Structure formats: structure tokens, C-alpha cells
Amino acid sequence: MDAIAAMYKHSFRRQRIFRDRTNPLEFYDEQGVRKRYRLWPHTIYGLCELVEPYMGPKTCRSQALPTLLRVCIGLRFVAVGSFASTVADLEPKVDPATANRTIELFLNTMCEHLQCHIKFKGRTMRTRMQQFFDNYGMFLN
């Protein structure tokens, strides 16, 4: 009886799939990266250095996403402006659930830690945008 139970247990066990976590920036030239992610490759590498303490893998597991791939997934989501499942299909071999978690981590990191690096073109541009939306949609202040 134990042999039959062990056989059934082994037959229902899923086989692990180890995915290749290559550098997505190596597939394209500079213009292709700019078109795909809306940033130049050297800018993406600089962004990875800035967010490494916040987005780097917390574990030493073999299948943790590297920071570069996490940043590329987040940038692709922002550049495309589409659903996370679409972004997961575009990036190399990333599960949609992993893409969702990565996008959430990327956006939270950008909002919390990089406010000093993201600037608008001054007070006048911000005031004009606010006035435009106030006039167009009658938003309340």
C-alpha cells in the first residue's frame, strides 16, 4: 500500500523549471533599447545602481530576479502603459505573477526613494498643467 501511495505522490509532483535570466539589454542595439524602454542603456544601468539597495534580491536563491531584469520589467510597464500580463509576455520568460510583484516593487521604489532624482521643468510648467486640468475638467483644488 505504501508503494502505491509513493507512486501516486511522485506522479503528481510538478517538475521544476529553471529559466534563463539573461540580460534583456544585450538583445538590442542602443536605438532598440531606447525604443523599447524609453531610456538609453547607460541610463538604465545607472538606475539599476541607484535602486540596487531597494530592489535587489533579498535571498540567495538561484531563481531570484536580478535587479537589471526587475528594472527592465518596470520600465517596460511604464513605457507600454499596458497590463502586467502583456509586459510579462514581452520580457524573456517571466511569469505574469512575478511581473506583477516586480512592477509593484519597482513603482513603490521609484515613488519612495527617487523623488530627489525626478523633477519637473519648474513651477511654471506645473502651474500651467494644473490650470489646464482645472479649466478642462473643473477639478477642485
How many residues does this entry show for the chain? Answer: 141
Rounded distance between C-alpha atoms, residue 51 and residue 107, angstroms: 11
E strands along 31-122, which residues? none
d(CA 11, CA 4) in angstroms, rounded, equals 11
* Structural domain count, the chain: 1
Q: Is residue 72 part of a domain?
A: yes
Of 128 and 50, the structure prediction assigns the larger pLDDT to 50
Domain presence at residue 116? yes
Greater confidence (107 vs 129) lies with: 107
The answer to whether residue 35 is domain-embedded is yes
Task: Over range 37-45, report the average pLDDT.
Answer: 91
Three cell numbers, residue 107? 513603482
Find the mean pLDDT for residues 68-88. 80
pTM over 0.85: no
Highest mean pLDDT among 21-25, 98-102, 123-127: 98-102
Q: Is position 14 within any domain?
A: no
Question: Does residue 65 belong to any structural domain of this protein?
Answer: yes
Question: What mean pLDDT is predicted for residues 120-141?
Answer: 65
Q: State which residues form the domain around 119.
A: 21-137
Say if 57 falls within a structural domain: yes
Q: Name the average pLDDT for the chain.
A: 76
Instruction: Confirm whether 8 is domain-assigned.
Output: no
Task: Look at residues 98, 28, 108 and name the one whose alpha carbon lies nearest to residue 69.
Answer: 98
What is the per-residue pLDDT across 118-128, written as a single tens digit (0 to 9) for each? 665 666 666 77
Instruction: Report yes or no on 66 lying in a domain.
Output: yes
Q: How far apart are CA 42 and CA 3, in angstroms?
A: 58
